Amino acid sequence: MDILCSPPYPLLMNNDLPFIVGIGASAGGIDALSQFFKGVPAQADMAFVVVTHLNPERESQLHKVLEHKTDMTVRVPDDNERVRAGTVYVMPQKTYLLIKDGRLQLHTLTTGVREYQPVDLFFSALAEDQKDNAAGVVLSGGDGDGTLGVKVIKEQGGVTFAQVADGGPPLNSEMPQSAISTGFVDVALPAGDMGEKLLEVRDGRAALEALALDSDTDKQASPKQVQSVIATILREVTGHDFAGYKSKTFLFVACPDGCRCGGARICKAIVT
């Protein structure tokens, strides 16, 4: 069975929703967020949701800061707003964010609750809602918020990132280090390098979901069939069995040279 995968790959992954990236940050987060968005091209065709620890007594200006760090649209979302590609959504103060059917849900903080984990809350909701159409990014912060969330994202087939040093450590490394210690972080990179890797993930997932043509029958092969054929060939060539991997993990492991195709080169160079 010859499977042909050819670009361009579709970027709208799940019921016309873009690939959705949740970003969690706390202490030192502004610098980390600035570096992160400098590394993400405005034409990335993804949606980003920024969740931070905000002082309810002080008006947040984070959305205004980020407007100067990216050419994408930056906005504070309205309740029940559907996420759109090319947009950065910044959680407003005195709320926590969830997501349902691709729509952001704003919930008012309960008076008297001293501690809550907004990153874990959003990551968990994102994972349940979007499954493998989601990524979670843990940047600089001063506690373990996001640690539970990355586990849920991984369990649902998503991909996870955490910030590491780039010459110097994150301003506050507790949040990303706590996430990394779980073993559920796929990619640990400096914040400014994450954008390129996110593009690889997005394109790799799209490659598996692209129209794959079985030349014997002229019928479309499913992404699972594509992955199964590639895994069989890799087992014969390398002796390693990749058959049980979820799609995103499969792309990370199987792509032999870390190319930007995120696995598409295997589809074209090995399987055809």
Residue 46, pLDDT above cutoff 50: yes
Amino acid at 34: S
Query: Is there a domain that residue 198 lies in?
Result: no
pTM, 2 dp = 0.77
* The pLDDT of residue 31 is above 60: yes
Report the pLDDT value the prediction gives residue 191, as an integer from 0 to 100: 94
Tell me how long the chain is.
Answer: 272
Structural domain harbouring 229: 3-11+203-271
174 in a structural domain: yes
Q: Domain of 153: which CATH number?
A: 3.40.50.180
147 pLDDT more than 70: yes
pLDDT band at 221 (very low <50, low <70, confident <90, very high): low
Domain boundary pick from 193, 221, 247: 193
Distance from C-alpha of 9 to C-alpha of 227, rounded to nearest angstrom? 16
Please give the radius of gyration of the chain, using alpha carbons only, rounded to the nearest integer. Answer: 19
CA distances from 73 to 78, 94, 111, 156, 238 (A): 14, 22, 32, 28, 45
Cα separation, 62 vs 132, in Å, equals 28
Does one domain contain both 234 and 207?
Answer: yes
Q: What is the pLDDT of residue 94?
A: 87
| Number of separate domains in the chain | 2
Do residues 46 and 116 share a domain? yes
Residue 158 has pLDDT above 90, yes or no: yes
Q: Would you state the structure tokens that stand for residue 259, as one six-digit string?
A: 């190319």
Cα 92 to Cα 62, 148, 213, distances in angstroms: 9, 22, 46
Long-range interactions of 250-254: CB distance < 8 A, separation 24+? 251/201, 251/204, 251/205, 251/207, 251/208, 252/186, 252/187, 254/230
